[in-house]
Amino acid sequence: MGRIKLMGLAVSIGKVTERYPFAPVEVPDDYRGKPVIDPGICTGCGACASACPPQAIQVKEEGEFRVVHLFLGRCIFCGRCQDVCPEGAIRLTTEFELATPNHDDLHQFVRLRMVRCVRCGRPFDTYRHLVRSLREVPFIEGERLLLCPECRAKAPLDWLEGGGDGNEG
Amino acid sequence: METRVEDYRKLVKRSLWVFHLNSGSCNGCDIEILNVFAPRNDVERLGIKLVGSPRHADAIALTGPVTRECLPKVVDAIKAVPEPKIVLAIGACACGGGIWYDTYSVVGGVKELYRIMKEEYGMEAPPTVFIPGCPPKPEAIIYGVAVAKGMIEPKQRRMVYVEEGGGDELARMLEEVNGLRHFSAGFKVRRDVNGT
């Protein structure tokens, strides 16, 4: 191709370079950007943590609190957390400008209060998750839902032995 | 003393020359770095240029989770960059280890790398801009460079939420339980003892 021809082609195509840092760039609506947990809805069930391939979301228990910890630095933006969240609390936004000189900026913490077991006093589940479970599950077992899994396992034994609050229907 | 990115901006006014250092990356981030230099987001218009040797560079574009095998080479390359220098940690692997963060053959991100550099080589951690993404969009890399140069203020912030509530959760809980008792109406657990 001759040089004149090439110049004509270049002129016909025009400028392709984007002005990006000085002008915003458009992203599609379903772009998988920064995941954000809505702290008002999250129940701390941990579905996202078990689905997260790089374990960027981790659910830990710290005393009275259950902590949902999202570390963006490890996130691969696969969107599985969004798929599995039963509350729709975690959502992938179209935000991609996440660069920061400060490593601490890449973390999101959601600290949720836990309910103590009626019998042994150990915090075992978040208040919100328990309320949610009560709405989903037909209520037949009385206060037994307020027992931690260990105590709940022991509860029928107590009833067999004749002592304790069997709560027979 | 640790140099911060803010101090780095004051020291360096010139164009940023970048040495691309692959420390065991899957090539995803490397392709995005090459995209940044392609005509669409041509960053050479901003004075950013890829150089062939760390001795010519101002910045290191580090990709990959820093495998054990290349750890001494990465340290050598960072050592070879003249002061003042800056590290652009590009991708999930460089920022926090990615999906290999706890793998045996991997150091796991620049944080761990800096810890090893300090403990075993006695080097201070260079100022670092973290660019998360797997891989980051070319625009996200340009944004990271702009943050390093002080052209844009970073918008990413640490978010901490603590659920409020007094000591009456259990009382509220029981109230809620009593409100839902209608669920059990007409449903009784029957015990059949001796066939009765």
A136-159 mean pLDDT: 71
Q: For chain B, where are the E strands, in sequence order?
A: 17-22, 49-51, 59-63, 86-90, 128-131, 159-162
Separation between Cα atoms, residue B90 and residue B131, nearest integer Å: 5
User: Are the beta carbons of B173 and A54 separated by less than 8 Å?
Assistant: no
Q: Is residue A38 part of a domain?
A: yes
| pLDDT at residue A169 in the model | 42
For residue A135, list chain B residues with Cβ-Cβ distance below 8 A.
180
For residue A71, list chain B residues with Cβ-Cβ distance below 8 A.
96
A127 touches chain B (CB under 8 A): yes
Q: Is residue A80 part of a domain?
A: yes
Which token pair is B116?
């090893």
Q: Is residue A92 part of a domain?
A: yes
Domain count, chain A: 1
Q: Is residue A41 part of a domain?
A: yes
B186-190 mean pLDDT: 42
A138 preceded by a cis bond (ω within 30 of 0)? no
CA distance A129 to chain B (A): 11
Structure letter (DSSP) for residue B121: I
CATH classification at residue A32: 3.30.70.20
Residue closest to B131 by CA, chosen among B161, B106, B152, B100: B152
Q: pLDDT tens-digit profile of A31-53?
A: 999 999 998 889 889 899 999 99
Name the residue ranges covered by the structural domains of chain B.
5-149
Domain carrying residue A119: 27-161
Contacts of B133 (CB under 8 A, 6+ apart): A77, A96, A98, B90, B91, B92, B140
For residue B162, list chain A residues with Cβ-Cβ distance below 8 A.
65, 111
Interface of B with A in 4-33 (CB under 8 A): 4-6
A116 touches chain B (CB under 8 A): yes
Q: Count CB-CB contacts under 10 A for residue B22.
A: 16
Separation between Cα atoms, residue B69 and residue B6, nearest integer Å: 33
Give the CATH class of B5-149: alpha beta
Radius of gyration of chain B (CA): 26
User: Are the beta carbons of B137 and A96 separated by less than 8 Å?
Assistant: yes
Q: Is residue A10 part of a domain?
A: no
Q: What is the ipTM of this complex?
A: 0.81
Q: pLDDT tens-digit profile of A106-139?
A: 999 999 888 888 778 888 888 888 877 777 766 5
Q: pLDDT tens-digit profile of A71-99?
A: 998 999 999 999 999 989 999 999 888 88
A112 touches chain B (CB under 8 A): yes
